[in-house]
């Protein structure tokens, strides 16, 4: 509350923040102070799923003006390196990224950001939908990397927020059938709500048994598996489940070293692909939301004002609901 209101640079905008979603990574930094090689060494503002209103624009900004409602892409390249030149700026090693040490996030009243990575929201897209573009982008990037297309049979492992956006996007991209696994019955019910055709509640089955169940409900092995948990047993199940010649995309992040049946994947030509965040997804997501081709509103299950941020983080930590949203603008009276 006592931070000074920042002044935007020539190519930046100052935003009055509106909606900020809480991500599992935010909770992880809060609880553990690090994710892999990213270590919190100084106080850091969390938050990277965000939308807000332009308050002030820098001298070089022409496409935005005060009063514009925008969604914020949190990753901004700092230099035009080989990855930016090839269109894969998410892989740039020097990229700025909200709430990744040492870069501050945007869970605050006022925030400045590169204008090129602020996208104007159409009138029929809400601030909350704008904030949800960030997790939605993970689904868009993952399903593109997986090659989801007309008639694809897709297995999504995990029914948390990222599993759910992958269900939504896979169906949008033409998947004929999507099956989802999870430990939680309530989360699987949410997967049904957003478009999953089949759900499997996992209990004590081995990875091979999970793979067999997936094949049974689909009537065949899926060409595409999107693994959203990072759990070793789930990655193993993903390999066993994927049809020969198919693709497994690893979205969930778990321990650095995991044991997997790599020879099984190799001899069956199962391609294993990783993803790192996303790139070039905000215009796609905004077009889908504006046209009402997809609906992400059911993902938000809890809302808190910024003053109750700690309560919001505790709610997320306990695994309650799906997406917890913080409202940062005390003057806004919309529901």
Q: Give 109-131 pLDDT, tens digit per residue.
A: 999 999 999 999 999 999 999 99
The pLDDT score that the predictor gives to residue 3 is 74
Looking at the DSSP bridge assignments, the partners of residue 17 are 52
d(CA 31, CA 317) in angstroms, rounded, equals: 9
Q: What per-residue confidence (pLDDT) applies to 102?
A: 95
What is the average per-residue pLDDT within 70-89?
98
CATH superfamily of 141-274: NAD(P)-binding Rossmann-like Domain (3.40.50.720)
Q: Is the pLDDT of residue 163 over 70?
A: yes
| Range 12-120+296-327: architecture per CATH | Alpha-Beta Complex (3.90)
Q: HSE-up of 6 (CA within 13 Å, CB side)?
A: 21
pLDDT at 330: 78
Domain boundaries, the chain: 12-120+296-327, 141-274
Among residues 22, 87, 9, 27, the alpha carbon closest in space to that of 50 is found at 22
Report the length, in residues, of the chain: 335
Secondary structure element (H or E) that encloses residue 235, with its range: helix 232-241
SS3 154: strand
Q: What is the percent of the chain with per-residue pLDDT over 70, rounded to a whole number?
A: 99
Q: What is the mean pLDDT of residues 312-324?
A: 94
What digits encode the pLDDT tens for the residues 259-301?
Answer: 999 999 999 999 999 999 999 999 999 999 999 999 999 999 9
- Tell me: the pLDDT tens digits for 197-244? 999 999 999 999 999 999 999 999 999 999 999 999 999 999 999 999
Contact between 110 and 132 under an 8 Å Cβ cutoff? The reply is no
Q: What CA–CA distance (Å, rounded) separates 158 from 163?
A: 5
Statement: residue 1 has pLDDT above 80: no
What is the chain's mean pLDDT, rounded?
A: 96
Report d(CA 216, CA 233) in Å as an integer: 19
Residues 41/101, Cβ–Cβ less than 8 Å: yes
Contact 227, 249 (CB under 8 A): yes
Q: Indicate if the pLDDT at residue 335 is higher than 60.
A: no
With 70 as the cut, is the pLDDT of residue 248 above it? yes
The pLDDT value given to residue 2: 64
Q: How far apart are CA 298 and CA 94, in angstroms?
A: 35
């Amino acid at each position: 509350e006592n931070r000074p209101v920042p002044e935007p640079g020539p190519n930046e905008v100052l935003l009055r923040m509106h909606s900020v979603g809480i991500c599992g990574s935010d909770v992880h930094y809060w609880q553990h102070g690090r994710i892999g090689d990213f270590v919190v060494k100084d106080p850091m503002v969390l938050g990277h799923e965000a939308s807000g209103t332009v308050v002030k624009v820098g001298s070089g900004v022409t496409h935005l003006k005060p009063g514009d409602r925008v969604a914020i892409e949190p990753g901004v390249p700092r230099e035009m390196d080989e990855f930016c030149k090839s269109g894969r700026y998410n892989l740039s090693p020097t990229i700025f990224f909200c709430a990744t040490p040492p870069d501050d996030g945007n869970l605050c009243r006022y925030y400045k950001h590169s204008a090129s990575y602020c996208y104007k929201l159409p009138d029929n897209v809400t601030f909350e939908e704008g904030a949800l573009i960030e997790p939605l982008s993970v689904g868009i990037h993952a399903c593109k990397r997986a090659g989801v297309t007309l008639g694809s049979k897709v297995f999504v492992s995990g029914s948390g927020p990222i599993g759910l956006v992958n269900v939504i996007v896979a169906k949008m991209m033409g998947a004929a059938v999507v099956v989802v696994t999870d430990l939680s019955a309530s989360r699987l019910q949410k997967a049904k709500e957003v478009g999953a055709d089949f759900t499997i509640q996992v209990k004590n089955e081995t990875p091979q048994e999970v793979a067999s169940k997936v094949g049974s409900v689909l009537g065949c092995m899926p060409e595409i598996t999107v693994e959203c948990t990072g759990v070793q047993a789930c990655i193993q199940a993903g390999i066993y489940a994927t049809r020969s010649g198919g693709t497994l995309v690893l979205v969930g992040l778990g321990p650095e070293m995991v044991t997997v049946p790599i020879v099984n994947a190799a001899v069956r030509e199962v391609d294993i692909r990783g993803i790192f965040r996303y790139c070039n997804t905000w215009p796609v997501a905004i077009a889908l939301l504006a046209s009402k081709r997809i609906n992400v509103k059911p993902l938000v299950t809890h809302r808190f004002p910024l003053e109750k941020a700690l309560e919001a983080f505790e709610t997320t930590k306990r695994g309650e609901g799906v997406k917890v949203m913080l409202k940062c603008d005390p003057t806004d009276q919309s529901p």
